[in-house]
Structure 1
Amino acid sequence: MNIHFIAIGGSAMHNLAIALNQKGYQITGSDDTIFEPSKSRLDKRGLLPEKFGWFPEKIKKSIDAIILGMHAKPDNPELLKAQELGLKIYSYPEFLYEQSKDKTRVVIGGSHGKTTITSMILHVLNYHDIKVDYMVGAQLEGFDTMVHLTQENEFIVLEGDEYLSSPIDMRPKFHLYKPNIALLSGIAWDHINVFPTFENYIEQFSIFINSLTKGGIMVYNEEDEVLKDIVENTENTIKKYPYKTLDYRIENGTTFINTALGEMPLEIFGEHNLQNLAGAKWICQHMGVDEDEFYEAIASFKGASKRLEKIAENDSAVVFKDFAHSPSKVEATCNAVKAQYLTRKIMACLELHTYSSLNADFLKEYEGALNKADVAVVFYSPHAVEIKKLEKVTKQQIKDAFNRDDLIIYTNPEEFKTFLFSQNFENLALLLMSSGNYGGLDFNKFKDLI
């Protein structure tokens, strides 16, 4: 099968290209720019385009399928040529469904925790040498790629994102998977450029619940009242399995959970992660892993990349990097670090980087999100606001939104770096939250600093 990727360099797209190449398909692709690590990983497998740019002459009738990435635009010259030739054009999730129609599809969705829960499930399955296909949104320890596809595996585990499928397919990705088994971790308004009201956003999760196969299994966080309501009132004939935060205690910086076998220490921490773990346990049980086997495996789970990822530590200081950027994720992550390090000063730094977080109307959703931090810092780039064609936001607007008069705000990346690296790290827990990199911050410098 000959497959061409338009915008092959994306995090998800290049992993799918590699997975299909490993499956024996002929893969070509284009992109106008490709960054690391995608560039090296594609090059290693002979899939890196010879030149960057869009080349409609690459699009021929001999191509069996086009996979279109979100980075492309609707007027992309390669896309226009493919449409002109009448080629089959798939979005990324649409093609994943085509690859998994004959498998048991397990889809993990929700506004937060998707990647962590999917990572927990895959860690447990890998620990017990249970082979499955998968797609996850982070690079995992012990896994070569973020996507793995075979002919023979019975299950496929998919991280289900509610964002749009492609530039020409405005359906949320997770609407396309038609799961046999699904999990929803919670609902907190996000992606306001696509879902302008909370009601519109909630509707996408109702559609997802209704997309489960008849008699399918729905695992859900019953502590989220909005989610609980829509799951329990669905007319879809599905089996419902609620979960909630596991019982735990913290001693000397280690979190212990209660199990049928007694107390067990974890490598991870935070109430949100103990919610995630409870959900992952239900899914693994539905995939044939019993409770004792789950706990045996999860004890060694260290977390997903960029999800409370410890990047530096000594006896009196610790630095975490986290992907959190939406209000609910920021609050949950701050609360987790504060609970874990009660005797330390907590400094929380947040980069406002996404379309939603830089929107003046959405900013109020961040009220209280940084309250658990002793020192709270917000970084944003006025240039990013311009690029996204949003109204300018002022420092005062941000302070008012977070409802915190002592909020420290930086807009210059060099000044922010100088501030960070001049801190006294004695008895400090530093939390760096962003889906970006604070205008070029080298996270590795913290290892030398502390």
Structure 2
Amino acid sequence: MSDISEIFEYSKNKTRVLVLSSIPSVAKLLKEVLDFNRKDFDYFLKEGSSSTHENDFVIFETSDIENAATFHPNIVLITDEIPTENLDVLLKTIVSGGVLIYPENFEETAQNSENYFRKLTFGKSEIQNLNGAVTLKTEMGSIPVNSTDENFLRNIEGIKLLSQQFGVMEEEFYEPVIGF
């Protein structure tokens, strides 16, 4: 299944989760966290796909807003490098009662949406880099991470909020992050 209309048809009775990002590590970390916590889901990511008829959730990754809108997502994570222009096209297609997770710099665009869905905003993650050792400052304390990709690290809070939609709480989230 590579055509977006085929993917939508396949997933129309599932909870459709969209990762709107041009940073491949975002969807990879989400998959890692969900696998680590034994959550069942299907996915169509840039790095591969897996589909069954048993799983309730399906994750779709794209950086193309038009493709994203065709997916009619229930839950959306938008990362901070995505441009805000034309975002209203996507926001109109989020299923009523769904969830939008977005960076602080999208506040005005998100609040102007006429669709009814929960809006969860996230700030940039606090990162400390001392001599190449990167740590993430969290409510649980400093967490070491292997990545030095600042674009990716800035969006960790959004990935955490998205993981919570799958029932993964904060402590369960950071354990796989340490090894990522």
Superposed CA deviations along residues 279-313 of structure 1, whole A, max 9, x for unmatched, are 11110011100000000111111xxxxxxxxxxxx
Corresponding position of 2:93: 211
Corresponding position of 2:171: 292
Per the normalisation by structure 1, the TM-score is: 0.38
The yes-or-no answer on 1:175 pairing with 2:77 is no
Displacement after TM superposition at 1:260 (Å): 2.8
Corresponding position of 1:430: none
Corresponding position of 1:132: 41
Gaps of at least 5 residues in structure 1 are 1-15, 17-66, 68-91, 139-145, 164-171, 190-200, 302-450
Corresponding position of 1:106: 17
The yes-or-no answer on 1:220 pairing with 2:131 is no
Q: Please, which of 199, 202, 221 is the counterpart of residue 85 of structure 2? A: 202
CA distance in 2, matches of 1:274, 1:177: 26
Secondary structure of the structure 1 residue equivalent to 2:46:
coil
Give the letter aligned to residue 154 of structure 1.
Answer: D
- The count of residues paired between Structure 1 and Structure 2 equals 180
> Given that residues 187 and 202 in structure 1 are in contact (C-alpha distance below 8 angstroms), is that contact kept between their aligned partners in structure 2?
no
Superposed CA deviations along residues 238-295 of structure 1, whole A, max 9, x for unmatched, are 1100111111211221111122332110011243222221111110011100000000
CA distance in 2, matches of 1:261, 1:135: 32
Query: Residue 235 and residue 294 in structure 1: after superposition, are their counterparts in 2 closer, same or farther (change >3 A)?
Result: same
Two-structure CA RMSD over aligned residues (Å):
1.7
> Given that residues 46 and 62 in structure 2 are in contact (C-alpha distance below 8 angstroms), is that contact kept between their aligned partners in structure 1?
no
CA distance in 1, matches of 2:107, 2:149: 22
Say which structure, 1 or 2, has more relative contact order (CA 8 Å, 6+ apart).
Answer: 2
Moved over 4 A (4+): none
Displacement after TM superposition at 1:161 (Å): 3.4
Q: Please, which of 185, 194, 197 is the counterpart of residue 79 of structure 2? A: 185
Secondary structure of the structure 2 residue equivalent to 1:179:
coil
Give the letter aligned to residue 185 of structure 1.
Answer: T
Displacement after TM superposition at 1:151 (Å): 0.6
Corresponding position of 2:60: 158
Which has a greater percent of strand?
2
CA distance in 2, matches of 1:257, 1:187: 20
State the structure with more CA Rg. Answer: 1
Percent sequence identity is 26
CA distance in 1, matches of 2:77, 2:25: 12
Displacement after TM superposition at 1:100 (Å): 0.7
Counterparts of 1:297-336 in structure 2 under 5 Å? 297-301=176-180
Per the normalisation by structure 2, the TM-score is: 0.92
Query: Residue 296 and residue 94 in structure 1: after superposition, are their counterparts in 2 closer, same or farther (change >3 A)?
Result: same
Corresponding position of 1:251: 130
Query: Residue 188 and residue 103 in structure 1: after superposition, are their counterparts in 2 closer, same or farther (change >3 A)?
Result: closer
Counterparts of 1:260-279 in structure 2 under 5 Å? 260-279=139-158
Gaps of at least 5 residues in structure 2 are none
> Given that residues 143 and 178 in structure 2 are in contact (C-alpha distance below 8 angstroms), is that contact kept between their aligned partners in structure 1?
yes
Displacement after TM superposition at 1:232 (Å): 1.4
Query: Residue 153 and residue 235 in structure 1: after superposition, are their counterparts in 2 closer, same or farther (change >3 A)?
Result: same
CA distance in 1, matches of 2:170, 2:123: 16
